[in-house]
């Protein structure tokens, strides 16, 4: 996976309240390390009825296990 079409970057997840008041999980990239994602926001929509506490538990678990993001261009 060391192709010139692959970029890797460190990241973390953050629970935020969406514009409709529902919790969403936001992906934060560190140091603009994935240039093809500069200026792009990545958020994850949760199932209807998910609570902020559930979203925070999911975010905590993701931050404990996920080191970074890998983006491939085709």
| Whole-number pLDDT of residue 2 | 57
Report how far apart, in Å, the C-alpha atoms of 70 and of each of 17, 35, 51, 61 are: 26, 12, 29, 19
Q: What pTM was estimated for this model as a whole?
A: 0.85
Measured over the CA atoms of residue 74, residue 59, residue 50 and residue 43, the dihedral's sign is: negative
Q: What is the pLDDT of residue 69?
A: 94
pLDDT value at position 3? 67
pLDDT digit of tens for each residue in the chain (74 aa)? 456 789 999 999 999 999 999 999 999 998 877 888 888 999 999 999 999 999 999 999 999 999 999 999 87
């Amino acid at each position: 996976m060391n192709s010139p079409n692959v970029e890797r970057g460190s990241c973390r997840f953050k629970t935020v309240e969406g514009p409709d008041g529902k919790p969403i999980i936001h992906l934060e990239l560190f140091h603009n390390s994935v240039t093809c994602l500069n200026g792009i926001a990545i958020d994850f929509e949760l199932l209807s009825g998910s609570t902020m506490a559930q979203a925070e538990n999911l975010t905590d678990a993701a931050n404990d296990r996920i080191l970074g993001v890998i983006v491939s261009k085709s």
